[in-house]
Structure 1
Amino acid sequence: MITNKSQKNSNYHKEEIKTLPLLLQYHAKTKPKEVAIRQKRFGIWNEVTWKEYEKEASRFGSALLAQGLKKFDNVGILSENRKEWLIAESGMHLVGIIPVGVYPTSPANEILHILLSTDIKVIVCEDQEQVDKILEIEHRLPLLKKIIYIDHKGLSSYNNIKLLSWDKLLEDGIKKIETNPKVIYDCMKNHSAEDIALIVPTSGSTGPPKPAMISFKNIFFIGHASEKVIKRGRRDNVLSYLPLCHVAEQLFSVFNAMHSGYTANFGESIRTIQQDLRDIAPTIFLGVPRIWEKMQSDILIQSKKKNLQSLVLKKALKVSRKFNDPWKKYNIIFHIEKFLWEMIAFRHVRNGIGLTKCRIAISGAAPISQETLKFFRGLGMPLMEGFGMTETSGACTIQSLDKASKGSIGFPFEGVSLKIAEDGELLIKGGCVFAGYYKDPISTQDSIKDGWLFTGDIAKVFSDGSASIIDRKKDIVITSAGKNLSPSIIENTIKVSPYIKECILIADGRRFPSALIQIDFDAVANWAESESIPYTNFKNLVQRQEVFNLISKEIEIYNNNLSNVEKIKKFIILKKELDHDDGEVTATMKVRRSQIEKVFSSEINLMYS
């Protein structure tokens, strides 16, 4: 068992715990005019101060009370990231109501499951699109009292009695506060660190999402422990772009922002992330592996163009391999060479992706290939891998900038213990372990035993206290020859190719490993145009023999990084992109393997016939 040596110092007395609503009130009082939130609309960044943030949140929370809600009631939020998401969440915290995030990309049937399993009484919808989803399933939601909408465009003709605009709701909140100026104070008197702060649905990659309850005490533990590793400050800022219903985005845009008092920025949309990054130049940046893979792909594609700038970039990428170990001690000659390439190319690459001022970059939510990590580190990006899950309140381990780790996910936070069960499963103990699944004691008991969280991940803990994740326990496959293979290791190795967006390993009970490949449409389309290869759409492009040859060469290149038993022997290029609506991926774009194997069973059988 590995326990962080500072664990004995991480047991806090109740009165020392600063919960999220207490922190909001503290920031509003001590730095009322400093910027808490910045949001971009129509190309203009608008600022919200800590005082305004607290004022709007108080109005929202009071308005929910005016609607008849009470402490421990659950309210859903169905929206893209925006300032109203944070105002709604914080407003609920002030009055003891529990927010439940719902992915805005989810179809109505998935939304129904989450709302029913969490007893939602009110839901906040971003716009007409989300309202329509709720109205489609409204008759199956007996507890639903109100549907609050933020953007009124297209809703003027709707006459459902449950519909209520955001602006009208806040007016009700103002009236409630005028009638009872102490309404927030009275609610906060009964506030406890043991209260549930939010309910976060799990990803649902192996079954229906389960509603995980995270307490204010969990959040304080994570905020306090992560601050010692990341060394955050009030001058830091982040760009909020991953869904706020995902615990990883909550960690950086809410938990850490509140604990350190830094600014959370909301761009126009997920489609404008590159420009938004250049506008904001965040000092801390969290990216899921797909984000880092896409950035890497774009840089590699740029280096393949036939112009002077691309030739310099290609040379710089080759040289950068010398500098991809941030813990290595270099001599003066290396430092001089690195400085020169920093001036010539590296800083320009980082500026191009909007991360010029980023002092720590983090990859999380899924395993990332070592090749991708080294790629960015070589360019001067301090990219570290961390590990966490919904049930650990967002994070529990991370690589350190101060010292190298043998394990790929780094060291546990202060106060977190790791151990490996007899079957290789990673077990975690500490203040990060969640409070349980909402109204599901059986699943909770299956997940937490004697204080240990059973993660479902196969892992290895090293002598230096660090750890590596091998794969999900349910995902490990055994070939007909009895060889155990880790799909994520093989898939991440192949996905380093700029032309491959998704790789799904097929090997369980099979003679050899094969793969279903989804191309990166933008990258392959650009390549096809440069080679004067005509195409009309996605399906037409993947059916070109030239594209098959391209992907075949890419797999051959990256197969060299795998052992013989791991090498992809055959593959098929999918004729469509994997779709959340078709149940092939989750809202977080995690592959649903069992569903994919059913949908593409004929293609799979063809590879083994």
Structure 2
Amino acid sequence: MREFTVPALVTAAPAGGLADVVFERAEADPGRAALARKDASGVWRDVTAATFRDQVLALAKGLLAEGVRFGDRVAVMSRTRYEWTLFDFALWTVGAQSVPVYPTSSAEQVHWMLHDAEVSAIVVEHEDHAMTVGSVVDRLPRLKRLWQLDTGVEERLMAAGTGIDDEVVHRHRLALTPDTPATVIYTSGTTGRPKGCVLTHGNFMAECDNVVRRYETVFPDKAGRQASTLLFLPLAHVFGRMIEVGAIRSGVRLGHQPSLTAAALLPDLEAFRPTFVLAVPYIFERIFHAARRRAEAEGRLGPFDKAVEVAVRHAEARERKAFGTGPGPGAVLRAQHRFFDRTVYSRLRAALGGRCRYAMSGGSAMERRLGLFYDGAGIRIVEGYGLTESTAAATANPPERPRFGTVGVPVPGTTVRIAEDGEVWLRGGQVFTGYLGDRHATGKALRDGWLATGDLGSLDEDGYLTITGRKKDILVTSSGKSVSPAPLEDRVRAHPLVAQCIVVGDDRPYVCALVTLDPDAVHHWLTMRNRPETDPAEVAHDPDLEAEVRRAVAAANTRVSQAESIRAFRILGSPFTEEDGLLTPSLKLRRKAIEKAYAAEIEALYRS
């Protein structure tokens, strides 16, 4: 058993709730830009601390006028947008609990969450969401109200509350304590029904305040150096929610972007010019692969790949110097790096708005080489690890001393323990209080104050955590060999053509894999070879493309023993999607569902 603790930097709050900071910041600095919101013409307009406070207060009055009471649970089903943050803080101001619902959720998923949480009202984004709720409303007797954002409900609620005195709202707000539940966030549910994680106001305070204090270089709050971020992660996910709360509490200028498509996101990044961004590794992979495809299309693939190699070597040299095992980049490497900074890296930074020097990554593992590349290109990615049950980050790499390929050290106020069987256990003020109405599941997850994460990992001598897999995902072949699929899958997915990879082999004689392709990468691959567009099912059987994927599989196999290596693979004609029930809303593989859907293809791998 190994254990590592980092003491808290912020004393736990003895009283109050998350909404208090809205009123405190407006009192201290009313003219400071707290958020930014796009107007009807698409121009970003600052929202001052005083304006945001007034909107929160007015909306809180409207919620009271509409019957929302202290302790009520109100669901929010929407993409990431300004109104979500506004409703979050208005709900917290009156002592209500928000229940995020992914906007892509099916009717049955919506029914389960609203029923399980005993939701009394729901905020939806548009008519399609309203129809989804409407299809199950007859089975939701506690649901009394539905508000639709794109019908101007924000203004109508504010108007409805004009007759309520400010002091009525403040009495609700001042009744909150750190132990009061703030939200119920449902897990993605890779297996079984999602469970509702009850997170308190104190959980978010412990998480956000310690992270902000420790990572001051990412969240600067000095005259003329206000940090800003454009949030495009789903606010139904705990990572996005933690950043929402952390930004408001720390004075970071916060913007919202509901679409992850390049056509929508890139112009807003350029206009908003964030100082840091937050994403899952998949987003950073897509940005990198898109840049490489663009370079190849322009006939600059050789210089681009050279620039990548220089960035990786430069970052590795700096990493070795930070840990006292090397002198840092040499003169020749520094000169090469300066050249490519002007010709390649600056273009990557410009795509993120030009001011971005930090990024935060979580949700799944990032390939070490990708993190090194971004660092060498001038964007330091702070990779971390956490769960919904730990209010997001439990560990994160120190921005001044990252160890790429790990998920960093415990955030302040957190202890990480590696149990005898290799499971990662967590302890700290951000650890949740339990699953809503499920004592059995709570008892399995919380053990004498420790959160048993279900993840496997190791701690090095400096306290850096490496996640090696998920306990429930470990495959045991028929010969008794245990195989962790995640490292193999991540390595195969690093190939530009590969979108997803799932490794199978439980109770089988050897390990195999199913691979899906990135449509944009395939289109580019065909274009560069002057070949016509082909049906995806036919492309999957192209011998030249299959050879490319075989190289990716061979590269992954170099990381493991022969008994753990992928012996055969099948390229599928279409990717796994959330709509097909094969991915969670946070893009994690639903392994059992995939194995069931592709049972015939898996059987064929073992007959060949």
The TM-score, its normalising length taken from structure 2, stands at 0.92
Q: Partner residue of 2:204?
A: 219
Aligned pair partner of 1:261 in 251, 261, 275: 251
User: Given residue 313 of structure 2, which amino acid in structure 1 is its aligned partner?
Assistant: K
- CA 1:550/1:362 → structure 2, altered by over 3 Å: closer, same or farther? same
Is contact 1:371-1:493 (8 Å) kept?
no
CA contact (8 A) 1:497 1:558 kept: no
Alignment match, 2:342: 343
- Stretch deviating more after TM superposition (269-278 or 554-563): 554-563
1:358 Cα shift? 2.1
Distance in 1, Cα, partners of 2:180 & 2:282: 34
Task: State the alpha-carbon separation in 2 of the partners of residues 405 and 321 from structure 1.
Answer: 13
- 1:227-376 matches, cutoff 5 A: 227-231=212-216, 232-234=219-221, 235-252=226-243, 254-267=244-257, 269-271=259-261, 272-305=264-297, 307=299, 309-325=300-316, 326-329=318-321, 330-331=328-329, 333=331, 334-352=333-351, 354=352, 356-376=354-374
Which shifted more, 357-366 or 495-504? 357-366
Residues 15-48 of structure 1 deviation map (CA, whole Å, 9 limit, x = unaligned): 5xx6421111111222222222223355322332
* Deviation digits for residues 478-522 of structure 1 (CA, Å, limit 9, x no counterpart): 222322211111000111101101000012122222111110011
Whether 2:148 is the aligned partner of 1:149: answer: yes
1:128 aligns with 127
Structure-2 separation of matches of 1:604 and 1:495: 19
Aligned to 1:486: 484
Structure 2 partner of 1:14: 14
2:108 aligned residue: 109
The answer for the alignment partner of 2:324 in structure 1 is none
Distance 1:332 1:505, change over 3 A: closer
| Structure 2 equivalent of residue 2 of structure 1 | 3
Is the Cα–Cα contact under 8 Å of residues 287 and 363 in structure 1 kept in the other structure? yes
The amino acid that maps onto 1:68 is: G
C-alpha distance in 2 between matches for 1:208 and 1:551: 34
CA distance in 1, matches of 2:79, 2:380: 28
Q: How does 1:425-440 map to 2 (within 5 A)?
A: 425-440=423-438
Percent of aligned pairs with the same residue? 28
CA contact (8 A) 2:312 2:369 kept: no
2:395 to 386, 394, 397: 397
Q: Is 2:549 the partner of 1:538?
A: no
CA distance in 2, matches of 1:124, 1:82: 13
Contact 2:29–2:49 under 8 Å retained in 1: yes
Q: How many residues are paired up? A: 589
* Superposition deviation, residue 414 in structure 1: 1.6
Structure 1 residues 379 and 548: alpha-carbon distance in aligned structure 2, compared to 1, 3 A threshold: same
* Distance in 1, Cα, partners of 2:201 & 2:36: 25
Q: Residues of 1 paired with 2:108 and 2:451: CA distance?
A: 30
> Could you say what the CA RMSD is over the residues aligned between the two structures, in angstroms?
2.1
Contact 1:304 1:314 in 2 (8 A): no
Question: By how many angstroms is 1:332 displaced?
Answer: 5.4
Q: Which shows bigger deviation, 459-468 or 134-143?
A: 459-468
**Distance in 2 of aligned mates of 1:85 and 1:102:** 11
Comparing 549-558 with 432-441, which one deviates more in the overlay?
549-558
Corresponding letter in the other structure for 1:2: E
Separation in structure 1 between the aligned mates of residue 227 and residue 119 of structure 2, nearest angstrom: 35
Could you tell me how far apart the structure 2 residues matched to 1:14 and 1:74 are?
Answer: 24
Distance 2:517 2:42 in 1: 32
Distance in 1, matches of 2:472 and 2:377, equals 36
The answer for the alignment partner of 1:172 in structure 2 is 160
Query: Paired residue for 1:582, among 572, 580, 583?
Result: 580
Q: 1:577 Cα shift?
A: 2.3
Conserved 8 A contact 1:3-1:415:
no
Judged with a 3 Å threshold, the aligned counterparts in structure 2 of structure 1 residues 42 and 103 are, in CA distance, closer, same or farther, namely farther
Task: Give the structure 2 partner of residue 37 of structure 1.
Answer: 35
Counterpart of 1:182 in 2: which secondary structure? helix
Contact 1:419 / 1:426 at 8 angstroms: preserved in 2?
A: yes
The one of 488, 500, 503 equivalent to 1:502 is: 500
Q: Distance in 2 between matches of 1:532 and 1:291?
A: 28
Gaps of 5+ in 2: 322-327
TM-score normalized with structure 1 length: 0.92
In the TM superposition, what is the alpha-carbon distance from 1:564 to its structure 2 partner?
2.8
Determine the structure 2 residue equivalent to 1:156: none
Counterpart secondary structure, 1:597: helix
CA distance, structure 1, for counterparts of residue 297 and residue 559 of structure 2: 25
Deviations 1:514-543 (A, max 9, x none): 111110011111111222222354334434
**Aligned-residue offset at 1:222:** 0.8
Instruction: Spell out the pairing of 1:3-82 with structure 2 (5 A cutoff).
Output: 3-7=4-8, 11-12=11-12, 14-15=14-15, 19-40=17-38, 42-82=41-81
Query: In structure 2, what is the Cα distance between the partners aligned to 1:83 and 1:331?
Result: 44
SS of 1:123's partner is strand
